[in-house]
Each structure stands twice: as C-alpha cells, then as structure tokens.
Amino acid sequence: MDTRTPPPERSPWLPFESRRRARDEKREAVLRTAVQLFLEQGYHRATLNEVADRLNITKPALYNYFRSKEDILFECWTIGQERVEDRIAEIAAADESGLVTLQMLVRAYAAIMASTFGASLVRFNVADLSEPNQKATLAGKRRIDRAFRNAIKQGIADGSVKPCDVKLTAFAILGALNWIGHWYKPGGELSPEQIANDFASRLTADIAKRPAKKPAEKKATKPVRKK
C-alpha cells in the first residue's frame, strides 16, 4: 500500500527530505510543473491539486508563491515572452542587414517555440487571463510582430529583401513559427536547432533578394547561452 511512484520531475520538495532550498528555486519549480501540466491537459483541466501533487506538496502551499491560478498562468506566459524579447534585443543590437536580421529572428523564435515556456505563448488562451494581463500579452505580441515587420521593412530598404506586403509576409512567417508550438514534441526526430535552422532559410527563401543561400550559422553546434 505504500509503493508510491516517484514524482515525474525532480522536485525541491523531496518527501521526508530536506526542504531548505531558496524560495525562488521553488517558485520556478512550481512554474515548470504548471506549464507542463497546462500544456498536457489544458489550463482548465489541470488542477492546482495536481500541480501540487507532482511537487510533493499540497495545494495551499502553492499560495505561498502565487496569488492565484491565473497568476501562475500569466507568469508562464511572461517567462516565454521575456525569452523572446531578450533575443530580439540581442539581434537588434547586432545591426545586420534586414534579411539577416529576419533570419536571425526566425531562428531564435523557432528555437524558443520548441520549448515549454515558448509554446505557452501560443497554446494558452488569452481569454483565461484577467483584463490587465490580457492587455500585457497583447502588447507583447505586438512587440514581436513589430520586430519581424521592422526587419522586413529594413530589408526592403537596404535591398536585401524583395518588395512585398510587409504585414502579410510577417503573418505568414510568424504563423509557420507559432505552429511549431503546436506540433513539436521533445522526443521527435528533429532537434529544436535543426528546425530553427531549416525554418530560417525556408521562411525567407521567397523574399530574399540574393539566390537564397542558407543564412550564416555562426557556431551552429554550440549556440551561445546568454547570461
């Protein structure tokens, strides 16, 4: 009767064990478990009891770290969003041509979409957030959109990209990218990096002015981890 199955993820709350880890680490663990569950079962079907169970704690303990379920959802989204915006800032700082910038954006965004928090940007329903949080997500989406559109515009201006409808081009590219968050499953044949590289050339092939050669892959095997 006491053959309890081990928790699916290494948890800071080991049963009958030392629980002295730092607060932030625990917060993060909650988020990781929650995203996972939200993605698996959907936000509404996933219960806080289940989240707590996976962490070897009980539901009310979660309220030491978050004020509500929606709070958790929003933080998951925030993490994904921040990762994207960090990369966007980096890429903007590189100050490359429009086409290269676009390709870098595609590669970065694709890789993030193939991660748990990245997928949460696309798999969660905006309607499940409070009104102020909805505003925040909307603003975030717009910033991403603008980054892509700006790269395309710049490319047209600097001659690296063929003239085209900027808005629809961005929609098409972002659509293909966002969809990754729906089909990508960790154990598949393709690694996130492979997908990212493939999409970087694929999605820019038709608007690249030069005969679309593969976008430069600096340090493809060991991508720079920031921070």
> Which residues of this protein are in contact with its own copies, per CB under 8 A?
40-42, 44-45, 125, 127-128, 165, 168-169, 171-180, 182-183, 190, 195, 198-199, 202-203, 205-206, 212
Residue 4 binds to DNA (criterion: CB under 7 A)? no
Q: Considering CB distances under 5 to 8 angstroms, the limit depending on partner class, which of DNA, its own copies, none binds residue 227?
A: none
Phi, psi of 161 (to 5 degrees): -125, 140
Q: Which of 31, 32, 34, 69 binds DNA (CB under 7 A)?
A: 69
Applying CB under 7 A, what is the total number of residues that bind DNA? 25
For 16, half-sphere exposure in the C-beta direction (CA atoms, 13 angstrom radius) is 1
Query: Is residue 68 close enough to count as binding DNA by CB under 7 A?
Result: yes
Task: Indicate which of its own copies, DNA, none lies near residue 169 (CB less than 5 to 8 Å, by partner kind).
Answer: its own copies
58 near DNA, judged by CB under 7 A: yes
Distances (CA, A) of 18 to 11, 12, 22, 210: 11, 8, 12, 60
86 binds DNA (CB under 7 A): no
- Candidate list 11, 36, 56, 150; residue touching DNA; CB under 7 A: 56
Q: Are 83 and 142 in contact (CB under 8 A)?
A: no
DSSP codes of every residue in 49-76: HHHHHHTTS-HHHHTTT-S-HHHHHHHH
Contact 182, 120 (CB under 8 A): no
Structure tokens at 98: 């429009």
Which single residue is written with the structure tokens 């329903």? 125
Give me the residues that bind DNA (CB under 7 A), please. 13, 18-20, 23, 26, 44-49, 52, 56-61, 63-64, 67-70
